[in-house]
Structure 1
């Protein structure tokens, strides 16, 4: 049987790894504490034993062995001080001691604990030191290990309890954390399944905690917005192609059919064919514009971005279109601030601005004034194309960027309704804000880079 899903999550596995590492750290920490504390107490016991030996041996060569035995007996008879004594003469005979009988031979520094002796008593270990006196007697002074052993047991018990609590808290906290992460991942998975099932309006949930999951959800939602826009654009293009290109194709067919029926001369057929070829070229231009817009919206040109001098670019475009405007009896004026630079695709930016200027020239009447301005506003480059022509009604300003959309009064002029769609695609690629406003009269288009 597979374990519950909670225990198969990456976060829970990471928690187990963290718990293992943390437990190892706790073990190392307590080992250091254990050995440091035990070492400190052992050194303190050594100091006290050395002090006791020094006090007993002070003046001993002059006083003799009998005086030393009396000193040891006196200390043994006093209230328990925690010291143990053993005094032997040169022959090894015990002169004075309060060590248990079987411990008399234990002259090493640290005897083990516990130890039952022949009289049934239990003794703790000893921590002491022995010296040979000037008359070849042997004096051994030791401390009871009771406090040291009690401290070691206390540290060991605390370590065991802390280790158990560490594991419980680590695993419990890991389970809770994994459950929380699993809920958020499941919410993203559920939203993804609903989107796959066709609900393109669905978005990833945002908890509002501004953590990495919220950042990921926001990025995914931005991506989904982009995908939804592309899908709607594709659906619109399909519909527009079915409707808007049907008319020119139908006209082309009728033209060819009438030429076959009515034209009886080579000259007439050639004239009909020339007109048909022109219509085919218009249709190919429309398809080319659609493909170009699709390429721009796909972001394929973003890799060609470089530094672009907007000031020089706008200056050149204005000077190029001035003669065109003058032929229609219009006046094209321009005001350009120096040193306006952005990062982008120069060719696309030129085409975007050219489309806007051409639209203004095409739709503005004679004696109209077209103003092209390049300036810096709030630290950002800004380009404004304004005219005093008929303008665009406010209700249609959001729709003019749709493919093939044309105002009724514009349907009698040449064009396919893709110029502003191309402008919108280039602006989106460069993250340029487009604003259409009323010039009273006329239209004002503002591009904020």
Structure 2
């Protein structure tokens, strides 16, 4: 590695020269292309000795700007992003000073966003604080979403292309991460929401042997995974006319009119895109639980949810009647939907893995601030891990919550998660914040 003016570094690798930028005592190796794809085609690995980096904008799969996420976190500045139908890039964040003998544990961030929005490299998921504190490496992965990555059903429009993208990123990590000080034999997948759902399904995917060793799964909506075939097929057929549309942003704008009906398909329409059973690299839905049990001993798993997952959706809704209902009714709605979409399915998932001989830890996160109007809602775990105050300070999710509370609780959680990524264990003696309960799941749980 060679030092350059303006805190720019060059890694001389088997891929060629890769640039890194020093930012507050970490190195960021930004937006390296790991694969390419044509529309509705399998990803093709990026050739060695032909590095490609996108340095000045963040590549994203074409997507809608989400008013919900703008309220939840902060308003999206679309000028910072470069839409690309082939968004297979990754960003590496590692400590600035690493000895040549040091092999850093590799944590691979798989972002959420209902398989529909987001990307790996966002200010709200900047891992710099975590990397500095715990001396780990974080690789943030972008992959195809929505129509481009998670809706298919024919040879011409295959399902699960986004999963294949992530698998290709994991292959790239195995081949090249040692160039940057990472340990390819200690790879932990870390995902929240649909990112966690993707990781759960990568555990039962074909073609992943040896690509990762541990999994941290936060707030995966596993209650949405069952009995989706009819809904997905209808959505797929209704949007088939868009497949030859030249402008991908036009495709994104038009599919809104063909989203599945809540009256017909219920709560699962909240996530119209998803990994699809019965298509490569996945098994059928009926085979899934047995396969999780069979594969349980291959991966150390830390899985859990927030106590009030659906509260932000229900208690701050800008449309509809929810916010006019009595608090007790709203609380009951939050409890019922959190249990059906998150808590109960995650409990079952953890118990199935443990019964298959897996090393499984389970957590529940409660509200950062007592009597908070929203409580521990979906995404409240993210600022605890990604302690980027400037990105989160205006979030409605954290309204009236002192940043010092977030940072102090988050520091303890970051230490626990790093301990798990390094060792596959969480010691009973390791300090836990009051808002977190985490326990080993026994096989007779």
Q: TM-score range by the shorter chain?
A: under 0.3
Q: TM-score normalized by structure 1?
A: 0.18
- Select the structure with the greater relative contact order (CA < 8 A; seq sep ≥ 6): 2
Q: TM-score normalized by structure 2?
A: 0.18
Q: Which has the higher strand share?
A: 2
Q: Which has the higher helix share?
A: 1
